Amino acid sequence: MKAAPKKSLAERLIQAEVLGSRYLADGNEAAERGDHDKAEKLYDKSQFWLDRYNKLAGNA
């Protein structure tokens, strides 16, 4: 049997949205500086968290 999550669904939704947005903003800053390799990695992290948000929200 699975244990209950330590964070509520609302907390996990907020965390996923915040991290997705933060990584997207950081990726945009890296791209503006011309660091495209770092930007791609940050965009991948952003996509992971935004996908997680959609899954938790039932949009997947």
Q: Is 28 inside any structural domain?
A: yes
- Reported as a single tens digit per residue, the pLDDT across 3-53 is 877 899 999 999 999 999 999 999 999 999 999 999 999 999 999 999 999
Q: Is 23 inside any structural domain?
A: yes
Among left, alpha and beta (phi > 0; psi -120 to 50; other), residue 34 is: left
The model's pTM is 0.86
Q: Domain of residue 29: give its range.
A: 16-57
Say what the pLDDT of residue 4 is. 76
Counted domains in the chain: 1
Asked if pLDDT for residue 60 goes beyond 90, the answer is: no
Q: Is 38 inside any structural domain?
A: yes
Q: Is 1 inside any structural domain?
A: no
Q: What is the DSSP string of 31-54?
A: HHHT-HHHHHHHHHHHHHHHHHHH
CA distance 29 to 27: 5
Say what the pLDDT of residue 22 is. 99
Tokens 């996990």 belong to 12
Q: Is 6 inside any structural domain?
A: no
| Contact indicator for 16, 53 with CB cutoff of 8 Å | yes
